[in-house]
Amino acid sequence: MEKPLVSIITISYDHPEVTCALLESLRHITYPNIEIIVVDNASPKDDPAIIKQSYPEIIFIQSEKNLGFAGGNNIGIKHAKGKYILLLNNDTEVETGFLEPLVEKLESNSKIGAVSPKIKFFFQPDTIQFSGQAPINPYTMRSHGYGYGIVDSGQFDQDTTTNFVHGAAMMIPIEVVRKVGLMAEIYFLYYEELDWGARIRAAGYELWYVHNSTVMHKESISTGRLTPFKTYYMNRARILYLRRNVKGFQFLVAFLYQTFISIPKNAATFMIKKQRGHFYAYIKAILWNVKHLFINDIHTNPSL
């Protein structure tokens, strides 16, 4: 039987050589029925033309503006023709047989709304980044990944349900996207895949970690690690996730915790460590949520 078409979508933002490395690894996979969509998110420095020149088989889309992780992927999804959508970070590389287990898992059960593979650190290939994820604490808005930073000795070699799938590599049936909508573009960066996962579970679907599919992740090449840029968008999104997903008494407790404990503590920590750039980025993130406290589209999700 013919394998279902998988639309692989990746976002490019500067560093076209990184995207090309991913595309080269995709050229060698064994799954026979794919289309690859690359969305360039208005790269400001590096000309992305080399991507299409080097890999003419791809569908290349040039966005006129940077729409963030959610917006860029949403553009790709709107152009996709596959039964399944695979969102894959451009700073990943894949094993040759990584796609078959993901498709087989989704084909096996219509109640599965999204899957993620085992993700390892590219520069520490024996070390796990993702093998499932714990629930988000409704007060701190934090979670942790199972197996994160642990050497892979086979201890996570079984498929399991997970509370969330990982934005670096997540596959979703297009029918699920039609039912729950696209990713919420209000996030721009971070927490958008967690929000999407929460919506998928709320619609009655399961999320799964698939152990025998492996993706290698270089992590944070575009945004950098521990930069004020990341501090701003991560904390902006954390509060935004609270506003969109926590309700009732839990929301009241979470609001009080964030206002009187978490936010003062984090701000003070940046100042004590003399990390002024991070301090100002953190305050800016909090003020964004204050400024946009009563926006009408806080709960808006774009439809496919």
pLDDT tens digits, one per residue of 90-135: 999 999 999 999 999 999 999 999 999 999 999 999 999 999 999 9
Contact 184, 70 (CB under 8 A): yes
Residue 220 pLDDT grade (very low, low, confident, very high; cuts 50, 70, 90): low
Architecture per CATH, domain 6-217, reads as: Alpha-Beta Complex (3.90)
pLDDT category at 140 given cuts 50, 70, 90 is confident
- As a whole number, the mean pLDDT across the chain is 94
Q: Is 168 exposed, middle or buried (0-12, 13-18, 19+ CB in 10 A)?
A: buried
Do 43 and 13 contact (CB within 8 A), yes or no?
yes
Orientation of helix 192-202 relative to helix 68-79, angle to 10°: 60
* Domain boundaries defined on the chain: 6-217, 228-294
pLDDT (tens digit per residue) in 225-281: 778 999 999 999 999 999 999 999 999 999 999 999 999 999 999 999 999 999 999
H-type alpha helices, the chain? 16-26, 49-54, 68-79, 99-108, 174-180, 192-202, 228-245, 248-257, 263-272, 276-291
**CB of 227 closer than 8 Å to CB of 101:** no
- For helices 276-291 and 228-245, the axis angle rounded to 10 degrees is 30
